[in-house]
């Protein structure tokens, strides 16, 4: 992967429409229809869809794309393309020209299966939790005294549960 592309956060991509950028993120979901694959990525600042077309990438990249699993960490290089229909809420998608797996994720524990997220939502341990718990956790993580949130460090995003 060329080193000439600077790394960018997903939240910065809308203002970079038309530019070729590199993004490091985790794979949320993938879907494929023959010679095109759609990879949803998240990096703690937002979500973006990477479009990988078999005709636009080397065979090794296409093969790597086929091996992606939930929570695999990747670096994707591609052109930022404005598209208001793009999933992720940023109004852009990434037309990938290169993809590199940084850290595979085998057997991620919360995947769509009988004990997946749907089951966890209905479990007593989460159903009986006070509704104020996420709000309190978010308030603590985003307080000015913590400093973490103001630096936009991806590890400080409040957890979804």
Tell me: the pLDDT tens digits for 72-96?
999 999 999 998 888 877 789 999 9
Residue 70, both tokens: 């939930």
132 assigned to some structural domain: no
116 assigned to some structural domain: no
98 assigned to some structural domain: yes
**Please, are residues 91 and 14 in contact by the beta-carbon 8 Å criterion?**
yes
58 assigned to some structural domain: yes
**Is the whole-model pTM more than 0.75?**
no
109 assigned to some structural domain: no
Tell me: the pLDDT tens digits for 5-40?
789 999 999 999 999 999 999 999 999 888 999 999
70 assigned to some structural domain: yes
91 assigned to some structural domain: yes
Question: Alpha carbon of 34 to those of 53, 57, 113: distances in Å?
Answer: 9, 14, 25
Q: Domain range spanning residue 78?
A: 10-103
For residue 97, the domain's CATH number is 2.40.50.140
Total number of domains in the chain: 1
110 assigned to some structural domain: no
- 35-58 average pLDDT score: 93
- 115-123 average pLDDT score: 59
Which among 153, 135, 147, 28 is positioned nearest to 89, based on CA atoms? Answer: 28
How far is C-alpha 82 from the chain's CA centre?
18
């Amino acid at each position: 992967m060329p080193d000439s592309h600077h790394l960018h956060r997903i939240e910065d991509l809308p203002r970079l429409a038309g530019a070729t950028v590199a993004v490091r993120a985790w794979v949320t979901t993938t879907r494929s229809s023959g010679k095109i694959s759609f990879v949803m990525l998240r990096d703690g600042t937002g979500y973006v869809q990477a479009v990988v077309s078999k005709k636009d990438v080397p065979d090794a990249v296409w093969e790597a794309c086929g091996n992606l699993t939930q929570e695999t960490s990747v670096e994707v290089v591609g052109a930022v393309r404005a598209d208001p229909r793009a999933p992720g809420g940023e109004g852009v998608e990434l037309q990938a020209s290169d993809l590199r797996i940084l850290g595979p994720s085998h057997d991620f524990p919360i995947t769509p299966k009988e004990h997946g997220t749907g089951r966890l939502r209905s479990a007593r341990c989460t159903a009986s939790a006070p509704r104020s718990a996420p709000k309190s956790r978010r308030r603590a993580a985003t307080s000015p005294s913590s400093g973490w949130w103001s630096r936009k460090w991806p590890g400080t995003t409040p957890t979804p549960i």
